[in-house]
Structure 1
Amino acid sequence: MIILLAILTGVLILVIVLLALKLNKRSRQLAYIHQKLGGILEEGTYERLLVFNSDAQIRLLLRDINELLDYAHRTGARYANQEKEIRNMLSNISHDLKTPLTVVMGYSETLLHSTSLTDQEREIMISKIQDKAQEVLRLIHSFFDLAKLESGDTELALNRINLSELCRVKMLSFYEMLTNQGLQVELSIPESDLFVTGNEDALDRVLDNLITNAMRYGADGKVLGLLLEPTNHGEVMLQIWDKGKGIPEKEQDRVFERMYTLEDSRNRLYHGSGLGLTITKRLVERMGGRIELRSVPYERTSFKISLTSR
């Protein structure tokens, strides 16, 4: 009996010692995690905690911490990019508004203080002031429209739209400008009308933006095309294309960004506002569609829109 008690006591002591060692080891591990995590957060590094550990619960904890660190760094990177984008946007807004307003102020001062102007010169200056004031108004409307689209406050009523007819009417309205600019027009629209789920005003503006864009930046290719066709995925695909100078491959992912300011970018539809393609993309997405860019300089640059067939 005494021997049995001695054995049990020995086993109990061994268990206690093992538990103490395990707790001591876990305590050291938790202290390491605390110290390492504090250093990572304080220095803002992209370091991660090692997950090699025999304790399953400690390994699980380390994985969870690393996931939180990844999320924190991704969030920080997005925030830094947004801050940079906002600074660039404010700088460009200031520049885009300042340029026409400077012209307005210059002509206004001349009209006020010059006594030697002829009636014809005054009329020309007043006309230029009117043009620049309209430009400022267009810029302000563009900023306001984008703000409304991104806030989601404005509902876009979606209906069954005859996209074939809308494209015909739109290209007809641009035909004189296109021919005066020396552009050959190539249309490819099926005889049977194609209908999509969309908003007529939004689609009208999308077409305006993309056709004007192609005229402005693809005119050296001497051809502008519109292609409309059904797909095998229950969609209708619309392309506006040209054979102009195109967009460098490294810049193609950025042309839909707000206020993108690459000198040769096509994203400057509103006299340098950098909002035309951004607004176009937002409108297409609000209609449940998507827009893609493919560009091979002087071969084919196309903006392809896919919308749900209806």
Structure 2
Amino acid sequence: MKWLSFFRTIQAKVIIIYVLLILIAMQLIGVYFVSAMKNSLTSNFTTDLQERAELMSVLAAKTLAGGTDGEEDPVESLQIMVNNLFNLDGAEIQVLDATGRVLTTSLSSQAEYVGNKNTQTVVSRALQGIRDNEENILDDDGIRKKVVAKPVIYNGKIVGAIYIVASMNELYETMQWINNIFISGILLALGLTAVLGVILSHTITHPIKELTKHARAVAEGRFTEKTPVFGSDEIGQLSQAFNYMTSRLREALSQNEEEKEKLASILTNMSDGVIATDEAGRVILMNRRAGQMLGVEGEELAGQEISALLGLAQQEGDALSRGEGLDSRLLEIAPREGDPALTMRVNFTPIHRRDTGITGTIAVLQDVTEQEQLESSRREFVANVSHELRTPLTTIKSYTEALGDGALEDTQLASRFVNVIQNETGRMIRLVTDLLHLSRLDSKEAALRKQKVDIVEMLEDVEDRFSFQMQQKDITAVIDVKEGISHAMLDRDGIDQVLDNLISNALKYTPDGGKITMEAALTGQGMLSLSVSDTGIGIPKKDLERIFERFYRVDKARTRNMGGTGLGLSIAREIVRAHGGHITLHSELEQGTKVTFTLPLVVEGGKSA
């Protein structure tokens, strides 16, 4: 398996390619070279035989024609010529007469052929005057031989033929020796090529291995490592490009992480809730504010459908799954048992992805409880103002119509009607005055004129202003100023109005013979605490939470008959808030009411009184 994996590497492929290229090139060169060498040696060998046969035919022509001296035997003369002049290793030379009969031969082992007729085809062709006669034969011993026959012509007459049979064994041995040398050269070249291929492929694959190693490091998140650059070639340029890409990728991921952290921080600290769903409407992301508004934890929402979470109808849930945006809507949700219900405005926005379509929905939850409460308070305020103004206006209109219809002539009746009109007009003036005062307090237009105020003197003045009413109802007034309290920086007119409203309410709802107590003390936080308590009829618990709302009355008919506008406690709360204080009310039915407000106790120069 190890070798198999090695052969799959680029290094092995490069070596194999180089070896195959060299092998193919050497094979092509070898085939051409061996073929050319064989043809050359064979051609030279044949040409040599042809020339020898030609020369022999010239020398033997006169002898064969009978032109020798009578004393010399022609056959013996031919034998000497063959033995001395044309002795070839492994070759046989025969001299034939015009009939094809062997006159002499160069091999003594072939002497029995002398006098016999040579019937070879090449001999017949030579005796016919054809000069180009040759062929290759394989004898009984498996030796390749070359046969050449030349006609012997004397004075234009064919007088015989020269027949040469030469062994080609030495020629083929020479060719085999050359082939062996060539094969050895090929093997040596392949070995050197393999070694050079290993070295060369290592110079290519080593940088690639380094690139691969660093690519794995980058994939694992290690962006600080750099790929070594081994040169300025293409692989070196690739290494430089990879290092540049790594640095750019590190910067991009760093920016992405930064943006992700910013987005996570924004989602976490948003005042609005955000819920993201997938294409099936299942929740995949929810920020902390959304969990607080819905009263659930993020782990509880895995796979939960947003339609069930927000209490949407089945048709609305299907519309969200199809990516159809729904109009913003108000939802009433009670997050936890005992907590007040929240009013939320939910906006749905489909998530689009290129080439994919709708991949989910973003729901933004806005807590509009306070806005709705303010809107409800505004509507209730307008309704109360309209009601408070309509009542005296209706009374004034009816009495003026009565006066116009003749009651004016009745002096006693007219006087009573005019008195009623004056009372209702005064009530309207007080109502409008209180509304203007509240408006200035709401818009911060009522500037506080703080001054150093003697607390005891201020409380005694309040008691003096209401002493006549207290005497009429036989109500006892008590002023209790604790030790350490003398002066404070206050808006005297504003605090007087607060105390007057509280004392006025105490007088209205305290029966004859009761007691009203005004107390001044210091809180644990160093604040001035002023309180007005009575022994009156008290306030039901169901009305305590709304007692400071504008135009809110516990006993509407009785309060209106007493001349109240329903704005006294609201004005008192706004004045106390303008001083940086806080006002509270505690009451028990048939046991009395205590209103306490705290103010910063600071004199000029920033010193405590």
**Bin for the TM-score computed over the shorter chain:** 0.7 to 0.9
Partner of 1:302 in structure 2?
594
Letter in 2 for 1:240: V
Partner of 2:470 in structure 1?
178
**136, 147, 163: which one pairs with 2:455?**
163
Question: Structure 1 residues 305, 144: CA separation in 2 closer, same or farther (over 3 Å shift)?
Answer: same
Distance 2:525 2:582 in 1: 14
Partner of 1:111 in structure 2?
403
Unaligned runs of 5+ in 2: 1-5, 11-208, 220-275, 285-304, 308-319, 336-361, 603-609
User: For the aligned residues, what is the CA RMSD?
Assistant: 3.6
Distance 1:241 1:263 in 2: 19
Q: Does 1:84 align with 2:348?
A: no
Q: Does 1:278 align with 2:575?
A: no
Partner of 1:199 in structure 2?
491
**87, 101, 120: which one pairs with 2:412?**
120
Partner of 2:548 in structure 1?
256
Post-superposition offset of 1:41 = 7.0
Unaligned runs of 5+ in 1: 16-27, 49-64
Q: Which deviates more from structure 2 when the two are superposed, residues 219-228 or residues 276-285?
A: 219-228
Percent sequence identity over aligned pairs: 26
Partner of 1:234 in structure 2?
526
Q: Does 1:210 align with 2:502?
A: yes
Q: Give the structure, 1 or 2, with the largest relative contact order (CA under 8 Å, sep 6 or more).
A: 1
Post-superposition offset of 1:209 = 0.5
Post-superposition offset of 1:265 = 11
Partner of 2:480 in structure 1?
188
Distance 1:208 1:47 in 2: 41
Q: Please give the per-residue CA displacement for 1:87-110, whole angstroms capped at 9, x wherever unaligned.
A: 211111111111112221122112
Distance 1:80 1:224 in 2: 39
Q: Which deviates more from structure 2 when the two are superposed, residues 267-276 or residues 101-110?
A: 267-276
Letter in 1 for 2:539: I
Post-superposition offset of 1:193 = 5.7
Distance 1:108 1:265 in 2: 24
Aligned with 1:131: secondary structure? helix
Letter in 1 for 2:404: L
Post-superposition offset of 1:262 = 3.9
Question: Structure 1 residues 43, 146: CA separation in 2 closer, same or farther (over 3 Å shift)?
Answer: closer
Q: Please give the per-residue CA displacement for 1:13-60, whole angstroms capped at 9, x wherever unaligned.
A: xx8xxxxxxxxxxxx965455994968875644599xxxxxxxxxxxx
Distance 1:140 1:89 in 2: 13
Q: Which deviates more from structure 2 when the two are superposed, residues 228-237 or residues 286-295?
A: 228-237
Letter in 2 for 1:118: D
Question: Structure 1 residues 281, 115: CA separation in 2 closer, same or farther (over 3 Å shift)?
Answer: closer
Question: Structure 1 residues 266, 108: CA separation in 2 closer, same or farther (over 3 Å shift)?
Answer: closer
Question: Structure 1 residues 276, 232: CA separation in 2 closer, same or farther (over 3 Å shift)?
Answer: same
Post-superposition offset of 1:211 = 0.4
Q: Please give the per-residue CA displacement for 1:181-207, whole angstroms capped at 9, x wherever unaligned.
A: 232222223587622221011011111
**2:539·2:554 contact (CA, 8 Å) conserved in 1?**
no
Task: Provide TM-score, normalisation by structure 2.
Answer: 0.40
Question: Structure 1 residues 291, 117: CA separation in 2 closer, same or farther (over 3 Å shift)?
Answer: same
Distance 1:211 1:243 in 2: 12
Partner of 1:219 in structure 2?
511
Aligned with 1:236: secondary structure? strand
**1:268·1:276 contact (CA, 8 Å) conserved in 2?**
no
Question: Structure 1 residues 277, 40: CA separation in 2 closer, same or farther (over 3 Å shift)?
Answer: farther
Report the count of equivalent residues.
274
Q: Which deviates more from structure 2 when the two are superposed, residues 296-305 or residues 260-269?
A: 260-269
Question: Which structure has the highest helix share of the two?
Answer: 1
**1:221·1:242 contact (CA, 8 Å) conserved in 2?**
no
Matches within 5 A, 1:136-155: 136-155=428-447
Aligned with 2:466: secondary structure? helix
Aligned with 1:254: secondary structure? coil
**1:243·1:297 contact (CA, 8 Å) conserved in 2?**
no
Q: Which deviates more from structure 2 when the two are superposed, residues 231-240 or residues 115-124?
A: 115-124
Distance 1:264 1:130 in 2: 22
Question: Structure 1 residues 43, 117: CA separation in 2 closer, same or farther (over 3 Å shift)?
Answer: closer
Partner of 1:98 in structure 2?
390
Task: Provide TM-score, normalisation by structure 1.
Answer: 0.75
Q: Please give the per-residue CA displacement for 1:265-310, whole angstroms capped at 9, x wherever unaligned.
A: 9997983532110110000110111111111223231001111223
| Larger-gyration structure (1/2) | 2
Question: Structure 1 residues 115, 220: CA separation in 2 closer, same or farther (over 3 Å shift)?
Answer: closer
Distance 2:561 2:600 in 1: 27
Aligned with 2:545: secondary structure? helix
Post-superposition offset of 1:165 = 0.7
Letter in 1 for 2:436: F
**1:217·1:266 contact (CA, 8 Å) conserved in 2?**
no
Matches within 5 A, 1:6-17: none
Question: Structure 1 residues 221, 290: CA separation in 2 closer, same or farther (over 3 Å shift)?
Answer: farther
